Structure 1
Amino acid sequence: MSIDTNLLTHLQKLANISLKEQEIEQTKEHLNEIINFIENINNLDLENIPTFFSQINSALPMREDIPISNTDIAKDILKNAPKSEDNFFIVPKIIE
């Protein structure tokens, strides 16, 4: 596959962009380089290379859901707030 002027014009319409005349040739060259690179990757023989990671066989690590109450964390967070009281943020009222 290669990018010609007709295909590039079609892509410009789909992407709602406009290229100047001097940019068209350079853009075609860049896109063709990308396509050639991808085609080279597709031609690699990967049959004997083991997969090291697969989403199908992986699972999320499970942990116990244990609530932890640590007031020091709240104090550290609230010390950066402009206003706080009794471990809560004080914010201006927006509904009367």
Structure 2
Amino acid sequence: MIIDENLLQRLAKLGGIALEEGKVEETKHQLSEIVNFVENINKLDLDGIPASFNPLDSKLPMRQDCVESKPEIAKDILKNAPSTEDNFFIVPKIIE
């Protein structure tokens, strides 16, 4: 695919991009190279290659849902707080 002046101006308008006059030819050339590179994918024979990932086939890993009581975790967290009382954080009042 060749990017001409009209297509470039249309793409610039759709993208909300202001193109500098000196950069128009360079931009057309770069966009043409990108499109040609991507068009190479269409030439590949991918019929015999299976998809490497299908979200319909994947299953979530399951684990036991066990309740554990670990009071030492709360103590470790609260020791980093600037102010605590009865195993709770003390925060300044922000609403009058």
Can you list the C-alpha shifts for 1:7-30, whole angstroms capped at 9, x where unaligned? 111121122120111222222222
In the comparison of the two structures, how many residue pairs are matched? Answer: 96
Q: State the TM-score, normalized to the length of structure 2.
A: 0.74
What does residue 70 of structure 1 align with?
Answer: 70
What does residue 43 of structure 2 align with?
Answer: 43
Which ranges of structure 2 fall in alignment gaps of 5 or more residues? Answer: none
What does residue 90 of structure 1 align with?
Answer: 90
Larger radius of gyration: 2
Q: 1:20 to 1:82 in 2, by over 3 A?
A: farther
Q: 1:27 to 1:95 in 2, by over 3 A?
A: same
What does residue 19 of structure 2 align with?
Answer: 19
Can you list the C-alpha shifts for 1:8-63, whole angstroms capped at 9, x where unaligned? 11121122120111222222222111111111012200122233322221122222
Q: Report the Cα distance in structure 2 between the residues aligned to 1:42 and 1:89, rounded to whole angstroms.
A: 60
SS at 1:34's partner residue?
A: helix
Q: Report the Cα distance in structure 2 between the residues aligned to 1:54 and 1:10, rounded to whole angstroms.
A: 37
Read off the aligned partner of 2:50 and give its amino acid letter. Answer: P
Which ranges of structure 1 fall in alignment gaps of 5 or more residues? Answer: none
Note the aligned Cα RMSD (angstroms): 2.3
Q: State the TM-score, normalized to the length of structure 1.
A: 0.74
Please, which moves more after superposition, 80-89 or 5-14? 80-89
- Percent of pairs with identical residues: 61
Q: 1:6 to 1:78 in 2, by over 3 A?
A: farther
Q: Report the Cα distance in structure 2 between the residues aligned to 1:38 and 1:68, rounded to whole angstroms.
A: 53
Please, which moves more after superposition, 36-45 or 71-80? 71-80
Read off the aligned partner of 2:4 and give its amino acid letter. Answer: D
